Amino acid sequence: KVSRVTVPISPEVSDGIQRLARSIGVSLKSVLLAAHLKVVGLMSGQADVFTGLFVNGRPERTDGERVLGIFLNILALRFKLQGGAWADLARGAFEAERELLPFRRYPIQELQRIHGAENLFDTAFNFTHFHVYQRLQNMAGVESLLHEGNEQTYYALTAQFNLDETSSRVHLALEYRELELCPEQLETIAGYYTRALAAIVNDPQARHESLCLLSEREQRLLAAWNETHVDYPNDGCFHQLFEMQVE
């Protein structure tokens, strides 16, 4: 079973993300992908991360937009979270996706067949911007009352980012498989995304590796679990201390 959790993004953070993308010359998608990669790195405990990236493989030729069918594919994106500013991380995400573009039509099912794996990664990233709805606003006699998008995830966690055409706001929904994650875990993970996006906006030139995305509660637990200092008697031999502990 697949469930979904909506992650609130304030108007200030949404606007800040879009301003940052314009100022450093990358797409909005790249800034959001940078935040996703940072969260995946935290959850995996690795600086070398692996995630799925949804891409559009529609033919780039005259009338390509008229061709019927689904051209959605998923690429396997590997990224090394090297130290640097948040802005550099966004630029790195942009370059990583650009390097994968020549392979955007290679079927993910074929990769799975070659490697004998049902899934090659546990997380995935998707960004949608249905700008086609702009046409409806200019059509006489047509009024758009409601539009919704429904996705299906096959991974433990999928970050579904969207730029709303009406409000120009960035939205985020986390879809997860209940067999692998629980609501309490998703609440924690949602906090990681919220803090990562806020940090990018607050100081794009700050070094991302210096920020702890853990909540205050998690940081207190981490400090408590690692507080292992114990005062030992220093007036006896080791074997005597060992015997005392046995007793």
List, run by run, the mean pLDDT of 10-residue segments along the chain (247 residues): 92 96 96 97 94 88 82 92 94 96 90 88 91 64 67 83 90 94 94 97 95 88 84 83 90
* Predicted pLDDT of residue 221: 87
Closest by alpha carbon to 120, among 135, 109, 129? 109
Q: Are 130 and 145 spatial neighbours (Cβ–Cβ below 8 Å)?
A: no
Q: How far apart are CA 126 and CA 28, in angstroms?
A: 12
Sign of the C-alpha dihedral, residues 192, 25, 175, 150?
positive
Listed residue (53, 17, 7, 6) closest to 168, CA to CA? 17
The residue type at 156: A
pLDDT on residue 36: 98
Q: Is the pTM of this model over 0.95?
A: no
Classify 11 as helix, strand or coil: helix
How far, rounded to the nearest angstrom, does the alpha carbon of residue 36 sit from its chain's CA centroid?
A: 2
Residue 233 confidence (pLDDT): 76
Q: pLDDT tens digit string along 23-39? A: 999 999 999 999 999 99
Q: Nearest-CA neighbor of 1 among 183, 130, 217? A: 183
Q: What is the pLDDT of residue 147?
A: 61
Please state the separation of Cα 101 from the chain's center in Å. 19
Cβ atoms of residues 75 and 103 within 8 Å: yes
Q: What is the pLDDT of residues 171-181, one digit of tens each?
A: 999 999 999 99
Radius of gyration of the chain (CA): 23
- Mark 209-231 as b/e (b = at least 16 C-beta within 10 Å): eebebbeeeeeeeeeeeeeeeee
User: How many CB atoms are closer than 10 A to CB 69?
Assistant: 7
Q: In 3D, which of 82, 71, 20, 78 has the Cα closest to residue 47?
A: 82
